[in-house]
Structure formats: structure tokens, C-alpha cells
Structure 1
């Protein structure tokens, strides 16, 4: 692959949506690419850095339209510590310590998924959530506009691997939707201290009930964290590349 496409090459718009807490969230949304497949990549805590832009390029090569909602932090570089402070302060949109309920920003992202599906007149869209936003990819499966999802190292609620960052009502709706469209995918490194083995166990026991596999889990060797970005190795046979290829194949099947 050549030089990473920078954010100034993307089309930019502002999207606002009233969330269930009656607060209005407004964020810039960046779009690039052509094709009849659409993926919405939700940024992780480090931000929309070069690794996330490189991930977008990989989907562009696969003839995807890529949509990047910019939720917090600078663009083009990573800023983990300052972004964490930003998110903690964005209480009307993020409730990163909450259990048995999702963050309000999921409503905003759901509205964006619906808008994008209608705009491009596609069968549905795919979503990727990573780290802080990994759980959101699971929650968004309840939206009729979303046909495929990959939750990469889902880490919420922070500091509580035994809890679920979704309400009972959300879980029921997600399960019903996955029964209709087929299982989604979820990934982590075996040694990840943020997205722990306990987190996968809880998700498995929550969703893979009634002898139905609603989430397909990928556990990669090693102690990394960011499967598709910071720890991604674009080399045939590498576990991160293998996971990416499997996810693209799954997205292609669901969207076309």
C-alpha cells in the first residue's frame, strides 16, 4: 500500500441527533470511497490517527465507502491520555463506567447508520467499534440499517469486566436481530488487560444462549490490544491480517 490517505481528502459534514436522554449530539462526519458497500468505523480512544486512516484505506481498496464519525480528540495523530479526559467530561454522550446500560452516543451512531443507509440506498451497512467503542458495534446490531458488525477489543464498562454495557431491553433486541441476520464477530488478544477473557466469557454467556451462536469470537495470540490499528501487521498469515480478512469476507457476504 502507498501513502496513507489523509483526512483532508475526505468529504466532511456535520451531523446532529437527539439522543434518548434528550441531549443533542453534534459531530463532524468524514466520508471517502466508492462502491455499493458501506462501513462505518467508530474511532477508538487513541483517536482517528494514522493507523485508523490506514484501516480506512484497506476498506477503500475493497471497494467500500468508509464513514468516520469524529467523536473526540485530534485527527491524524493519537492522544490517549488527553482523549480519556475528554471522554470522561463528555457525560451527556459517554457513560464509560455504567453497567446495564449503553452510552447515549449509541443513539447518535444509530441515527447516523440509518442516515447513511438511506443516503447510499444500500441493503444495509457494516459497523466496526474498537476499544472504548467496541461495545457500540454490538449495540448497533439492533438497528435495522446495520447488517454486519465487528466489535474489536470491547472494553466497557471500564474497570468492570463482569458487567455488560447494555440494558436488558437492548440485549433482547440485539439477540432477535442477530437471529434474523446471522452472527456478528468480536475479537481480542489473549493477553489483553483491557478486554479480558472474563469480558468475552460474559458476552458469550449473554448472547450465545438457546444453543445459538450470535457472536463469533476471535482470540489472537499475544498481549496486544488494538487488532485493526496499533497492533495490526499487514502480512499474510499474521493473526491480525487473518482476522481482518475474515471480517471483510463476512462484511462482503452480509452487504452484497
Structure 2
């Protein structure tokens, strides 16, 4: 059952629904037409800047679904809000922020959401954009063949306790990592974006290069401040946003349309 959202102007035009799978249930927000793209928010939640980016994806010709995993949809970023959401993520059994070499339990729910969206809208497959704590979720969704355009922006989880302790871990089980590598070997490309001095990303880009080879496309931006982190939202880099939109279009849209 769906209804119109009453979350304020920033979510006008987005249809709220609820989706259950893999033992979890979360609200989703949907807008647009065309092939499907799952936009997975960063901490603290579906903020106005996340919605701005998602609207750009809609305008490029996609059906976008935003899962609501933590936070209050439409609420702007603030330090107290960010810390409160981070605390929830760190203790969540769905996300397991500290678990190395383990696919987060929410990923099967996201895979099911992507499959349902693809069944509804068709196209060559589905795209996904993960940000920060959800960057690895988009990577884990590659296990399904329906995921043909995974985007990892500032992939930052699982949390590292130091440069040599988890900072390069991709947050995938051995079986899922093997499946992702196999798909990359068969031509499924992965787009990754980060600010070079972002310590939260750790050495994951090195791991992605090692594991995925030429299938990993890295967009690495010079850092201008220690706060630079959110490539597509809070510290939005316009050329990077365009690069993501072009990547999604290349993988999902018919060039003759």
C-alpha cells in the first residue's frame, strides 16, 4: 500500500511505500520513469542533498527508489542528527558496521528490492548508488545479475580501527566477494568516487583495484578540506554527479531513445 508523502517540500512528488523481504521491512520513496536505480542514502539519512541528487537521477530518465534505512526523511544534516544516526548504525543488526569479511544483513533486502523494481520497470538491469556506510551495499548487490550499474561513493564501511585494521575491507563475505569478482571478470564495471584525503574510505580503493582490475573505474578528487567526504551530496562535486549520471545512462538507457 502506498500513499503520498507528507514530509515537506523536499519530498514532493515522491511516493512513499513499504517493502518487506529477507526478514526486514523499510519504507521506500519512489519517483520517475524508465529503468530502475536504487539510491541508498548516507548517514544521517535521506537528507535534502540526497534528495537533490536523486532528483537529478530521475531527470536523467530513471525510476529512482530511495530506501529509508535510518534517520528522518527530509531532515537536514546537523552534527547532533549525524551522531544520533551513526550510533544507530553502529549497533544495528541489519548493518553490522564493525563486521569484517561479512556481507551486511540488509544487502539481501536491497537485492530483493532491486529485483522487484526491475520486474516492474524492465530495462537491461538496475543501477545502485551507495554512499558512505551504504557504499558496500551497492557492491554486494552485484551478486545478482540484475545489478548492472553499481556506484560506490565514499565507500566507508565496515569501520576501520586503523589503516591496517579493516581500512581496506570491502564488507563482503568470501562467497559474495568471489561472485562480485566473477561478475567483474565478465564485464560488469563498478564506478567508485572519493576525495583522496578522506580517511573514512581507508584503502578500499586499493582493494577494489586489486580485486576488480580494469572493471573498477575510480574517480578521485583532490581534497580541499578535512571535511571533504560526501562527493554527491554535502560537498557535491558537479562533474562527479555528471559522471555518475553518464555511467547509469551508459549501462541502462537505450542510446536510440
> Is TM > 0.5 for Structure 1 vs Structure 2?
yes
Aligned mates of 2:82, 2:209 — CA distance in 1: 29
Aligned mates of 1:172, 1:14 — CA distance in 2: 32
Q: Residue in 1 aligned with 2:234?
A: 230
Q: Residue in 2 aligned with 1:66?
A: 64
Q: Residue in 1 aligned with 2:83?
A: 81
Helix, strand or coil at the partner of 2:186: helix
Q: Do structure 1's residue 241 and structure 2's residue 235 form an aligned pair?
A: no
Residues matched between the structures, number: 234
Aligned mates of 2:84, 2:183 — CA distance in 1: 36
Aligned mates of 1:181, 1:163 — CA distance in 2: 23
8 A Cα contact 1:47 1:74, kept in partner: yes
Aligned mates of 1:138, 1:58 — CA distance in 2: 22
| Correspondence for 1:186 among 185, 188, 192 | 192
8 A Cα contact 1:125 1:147, kept in partner: yes
Q: Residue in 2 aligned with 1:111?
A: 112
Q: Do structure 1's residue 49 and structure 2's residue 44 form an aligned pair?
A: no
CA shift at 1:214, angstroms? Answer: 1.8
Q: Residue in 1 aligned with 2:147?
A: 146
CA shift at 1:33, angstroms? Answer: 1.2
8 A Cα contact 1:5 1:54, kept in partner: no
CA shift at 1:167, angstroms? Answer: 1.6
CA shift at 1:145, angstroms? Answer: 1.4
Aligned mates of 1:140, 1:37 — CA distance in 2: 16
Point out 4+ residue stretches in structure 1 off by more than 4 angstroms: none
Q: Residue in 2 aligned with 1:169?
A: 175
8 A Cα contact 1:5 1:53, kept in partner: no
8 A Cα contact 1:40 1:68, kept in partner: yes
Structure 1 gaps of 5+ residues are 19-23, 233-239
Aligned mates of 2:114, 2:9 — CA distance in 1: 23
Q: Residue in 2 aligned with 1:15?
A: 19
RMSD in angstroms over aligned alpha carbons?
1.6
TM-score by length of 2: 0.86
CA shift at 1:182, angstroms? Answer: 3.1
